[in-house]
Chains A and B, each alone.
Chain A
């Protein structure tokens, strides 16, 4: 992979070679790269489904694919993107790689479990892939009963099983992180010296551990109902399909925070490094991560305002939903305030961070719309919701993920990426994203329902705009893929600390040695104390 100069220093990439050294590795850094390869595959798989969806929607009459195929496309887009890309994205790659290094540990607390988690994701992914290749699944990623249990004639069982297995990957990763943060911190690394990325991943892990088992058992019940017709959610036996929705969203709403909290952690790092200032309101950002994780569990019923849920439950869930808006807004304000009087660099990761704040702000503010009962009745299950959650999950999570990938690429691979191309890609993605999804807000308020294969003519112009944006976006996503691979061979060698950053991960070499540090670190400073770092950077040049 990396040019093997004969007298190169030993690091985690060249310490051993061969397929076996990767597939049986217990090194969290190598496992992170295994995850990276896996989720990249699923990202492009999900992305190609999205491309087909957008091309199909160019015309209102549904000429490209049949309605069955279309339904399978959006289902598999959702399944691939949510369960096999977004949920593992930042925690399992950047988190896996950097969380132990950031706290000064040699590895996670349970390295074998970590490897097992990856295998579980792969096995789950294979089940889902099998379902996709064998004929697909058409229930929507939400698997609402009784359609999924009784009426769908597609590969529901294989897909459900895949998600069930992948769920354990998520649970075990979360468990591993929590124990690691509690038990493996280096001397002097107190809770309030932890980088905010660690706080964010810690909060994420809480959700993974507390939420994921519920979706697991729900999917298991769905599985039993489909196979044995035992009817836990079957209205014919007196069961209640809305109960399924409760259990499903008990996990799936917090799952949104599994996707976006680590993204927020990345942004906290980026904003600080590239304005060379400690994060404004460190404790507020740290605690708001935990607050989001906790409050995120109290709001799931806002997906059910028109489902037949009682009116009073709707009131409770709407009320609680607004509480989760507060910690999110605290974060945005604190990031913005961090820029004040900073020394702001326009490096690529910072451009992604700006993009994140902008898009997350729009996504978050439109969240206030859909949490308002009166408006949600109109916009739920329309493109308004589709646009809203893509602003959070794509505009938020993927922007941060790419920002983080650029930021950490030199550390992970020892190579710099080409700066000009990277800046261009950030710009293309930002513009493409907005062109794709902003028209969908308008479509949604106009009443365009989601998951529609054919649609009334008057929606076409906005759909065409959205598709145009999607093609720009696709180019934007392919660019980093290409130049990252290119940089592995041709990129400049990266110094240990190319950005003048403060974390322990920048005190060790690029790429890090097998046990992360040549010398065990002892922490003596707060996070983000740039006065200790900047002179060194200047020497490095």
Chain B
């Protein structure tokens, strides 16, 4: 037994935002609980039955009271809604400078992949003060990526990508849970998130032996699967070039457009006929069953690395990161300030 914590640690920029909302709700809830309990207790004592045949006066309902206790709670709930929605937007939208990490859930483990090629199981090492964006999928059933100290949670759904992000503000070791029931060893699908000082993180990154960065592995796979026979860099192939595709808006046969994000790249690999790029024939075979979710992620990352170079952070390879991390540390570590932290902490440097 031993320790008895009553409140979770605050270790991300979102955590204090969530907690402030909690304090507000707690205040409202406590007020109304005391009001109701107090009124019941007072009335029950004050107006207790004194004789078996007493008949109390009839008190008719009052419109003023009814309106009062309809309108006031309604006003309060609208504050709750708006505030909750504001926090939710912050929780949902990763800042542009966030560092990309991929996660795959399967019964019953978390597989995490860094752009630099480090792969971890049930552990995630991240630097202090950098926003981290997780793109996640599942190989089997629904899981949920939950780090209580960060106040973030996102279901991980088979067949599609979901996203979560957080920006750690305190070095340490934090629980990682699977929060969506996923079968026999659901409670064993847990791990740790290590938030490290940036220097330590650099040391950790260079420590593990990797077989090349995620994008490099994706490129190898791209060649292995002979994707490069058709998808040529110079746009001379039978298929559209993938250079500068990521993040762009793609024109489709039949008139529509689609934003080339992770989900679109994934769909194009597994279900290539679903959306055909304008001006091309539907000749690509499906790779369903030929590649694992992890390999798809490598390919997605490769395509991303071919895309327009992002302002900061998303550049693959550890060199770029190494230059940046110390610079980012200063503003971020004192940035529990809240909502607008994302742009503020993103001095767009290359």
Query: Which A positions have Cβ atoms within 8 angstroms of B?
Result: 62, 67-68, 71, 138, 140, 142, 144, 146-147, 150-152, 235-236, 238, 240-242, 275-278, 280-284, 305-308, 311, 314-315, 318-319, 322, 325-326, 329-330, 332-334, 336-337, 339-346, 354, 357-358, 361-362, 365-366, 368-369, 371-378, 380-382, 442, 445-447, 449-458, 460-462, 464, 530-531, 534-535, 537-538
**Are B142 and A151 in contact (CB-based, < 8 A)?**
no
The closest CB in chain A to the CB of B3 belongs to A458
Q: Can you list the 5 inter-chain pairs with the closest CB atoms, starting with the nearest?
A: A447-B148, A374-B87, A235-B159, A372-B84, A373-B88
**Are B5 and A311 in contact (CB-based, < 8 A)?**
no
Q: How far is the CB of B273 from chain A (nearest CB, A)?
A: 12
Interchain CA distance A236-B91 in the complex, whole Å: 29
B interface secondary structure, majority? mixed
Q: How far is the CB of B10 from chain A (nearest CB, A)?
A: 11
Interchain CA distance A308-B18 in the complex, whole Å: 20
Most buried by A among B74, B84, B91: B84
Interchain CA distance A366-B148 in the complex, whole Å: 19
Stretch in contact with the other chain, from B39-47, B234-242, B327-335: B39-47
Interchain CB contact (< 8 A) of B22 among A140, A281, A358, A445: A445
Give the residues in chain A near B29, CB-CB below 8 Å.
Answer: 362, 365-366, 368-369
Contact A534 to B55, CB < 8 A, known contacts A144-B180, A325-B73, A461-B1: yes
Interchain CB contact (< 8 A) of B91 among A308, A344, A374: A374
A-B contact pairs, 22 of them (CB 8 A): A235-B159, A275-B47, A276-B55, A308-B162, A326-B70, A329-B70, A333-B69, A342-B47, A346-B49, A354-B44, A362-B29, A372-B83, A374-B17, A374-B85, A374-B88, A375-B87, A447-B8, A449-B179, A450-B179, A457-B2, A458-B2, A458-B3
Interchain CB contact (< 8 A) of A318 among B70, B84, B188: B84
Interchain CA distance A306-B143 in the complex, whole Å: 11
Those of B61-118 within 8 Å (CB) of chain A: 61, 65-66, 69-70, 73-74, 77-78, 80-81, 83-92, 107
**Are B8 and A369 in contact (CB-based, < 8 A)?**
no
Interchain CB contact (< 8 A) of A377 among B43, B91, B175, B184: B91
Is B149 among interface residues, defined by CB-CB distance under 8 A?
Answer: yes
**Are A306 and B155 in contact (CB-based, < 8 A)?**
yes
Interchain CA distance A407-B178 in the complex, whole Å: 45
**Are A375 and B47 in contact (CB-based, < 8 A)?**
no
**Are A377 and B181 in contact (CB-based, < 8 A)?**
no
**Are B80 and A242 in contact (CB-based, < 8 A)?**
no
Q: How far is the CB of B271 from chain A (nearest CB, A)?
A: 7
Contact A358 to B37, CB < 8 A, known contacts A67-B185, A151-B183: yes
**Are B40 and A238 in contact (CB-based, < 8 A)?**
no
**Are A341 and B59 in contact (CB-based, < 8 A)?**
yes
Q: How far is the CB of B316 from chain A (nearest CB, A)?
A: 26
A interface secondary structure, majority? helix
Q: How far is the CB of B256 from chain A (nearest CB, A)?
A: 18
Is B21 among interface residues, defined by CB-CB distance under 8 A?
Answer: yes
Which range contains the number of B residues in contact with the other chain?
A: 35 or more
The closest CB in chain B to the CB of A464 belongs to B1
Interchain CB contact (< 8 A) of A446 among B8, B87, B154: B8
Q: How far is the CB of B183 from chain A (nearest CB, A)?
A: 6
Contact A238 to B271, CB < 8 A, known contacts A326-B70, A445-B22: yes
Is B186 among interface residues, defined by CB-CB distance under 8 A?
Answer: yes
Interchain CB contact (< 8 A) of B85 among A235, A276, A315, A337: A315
Q: How far is the CB of A332 from chain B (nearest CB, A)?
A: 6
Give the residues in chain B near A345, CB-CB below 8 Å.
Answer: 48-49
Query: Which B positions have Cβ atoms within 8 angstroms of A?
Result: 1-8, 17-18, 21-22, 25, 28-29, 32-33, 36-37, 39-40, 43-44, 47-50, 52-59, 61, 65-66, 69-70, 73-74, 77-78, 80-81, 83-92, 107, 140-142, 144, 146, 148-149, 151-155, 157-160, 162, 175, 177-188, 190, 271
Most buried by B among A371, A377, A452: A377
Interchain CA distance A445-B63 in the complex, whole Å: 39
Interchain CA distance A332-B7 in the complex, whole Å: 30
Give the residues in chain B near A464, CB-CB below 8 Å.
Answer: 1
Interchain CB contact (< 8 A) of B5 among A329, A446, A449, A530: A446
Give the residues in chain B near A358, CB-CB below 8 Å.
Answer: 36-37, 40
The closest CB in chain B to the CB of A71 belongs to B184
- 19 further A-B contacts with Cβ under 8 Å, apart from A284-B61, A538-B52, are A307-B155, A308-B162, A337-B65, A341-B59, A343-B55, A346-B44, A346-B49, A358-B36, A365-B29, A369-B25, A371-B81, A372-B25, A372-B81, A374-B84, A446-B6, A451-B181, A458-B2, A462-B4, A534-B53
Give the residues in chain A near B28, CB-CB below 8 Å.
Answer: 365, 368
Contact A146 to B158, CB < 8 A, known contacts A332-B36, A344-B49, A372-B80: yes
Interchain CB contact (< 8 A) of B88 among A281, A311, A342, A453: A311
Interchain CB contact (< 8 A) of B56 among A71, A341, A365: A341
Interchain CA distance A277-B47 in the complex, whole Å: 12
Most buried by B among A147, A242, A461, A538: A147
Give the residues in chain B near A365, CB-CB below 8 Å.
Answer: 28-29, 32-33
Contact A530 to B8, CB < 8 A, known contacts A343-B47, A357-B40: no
Interchain CA distance A32-B306 in the complex, whole Å: 70
**Are B7 and A445 in contact (CB-based, < 8 A)?**
yes
Contact A381 to B4, CB < 8 A, known contacts A152-B183, A314-B88: no
Interchain CA distance A236-B289 in the complex, whole Å: 10
The closest CB in chain B to the CB of A74 belongs to B181
Most buried by B among A345, A362, A446: A446
Interchain CA distance A314-B91 in the complex, whole Å: 13
Interchain CB contact (< 8 A) of B66 among A235, A281, A446: A281
**Are A458 and B87 in contact (CB-based, < 8 A)?**
no
Q: How far is the CB of B190 from chain A (nearest CB, A)?
A: 8
Interchain CA distance A538-B6 in the complex, whole Å: 54
Interchain CA distance A499-B180 in the complex, whole Å: 49
Q: How far is the CB of B41 from chain A (nearest CB, A)?
A: 9
**Are B25 and A368 in contact (CB-based, < 8 A)?**
yes
The closest CB in chain B to the CB of A276 belongs to B56
Give the residues in chain B near A138, CB-CB below 8 Å.
Answer: 183-184
**Are B157 and A241 in contact (CB-based, < 8 A)?**
yes
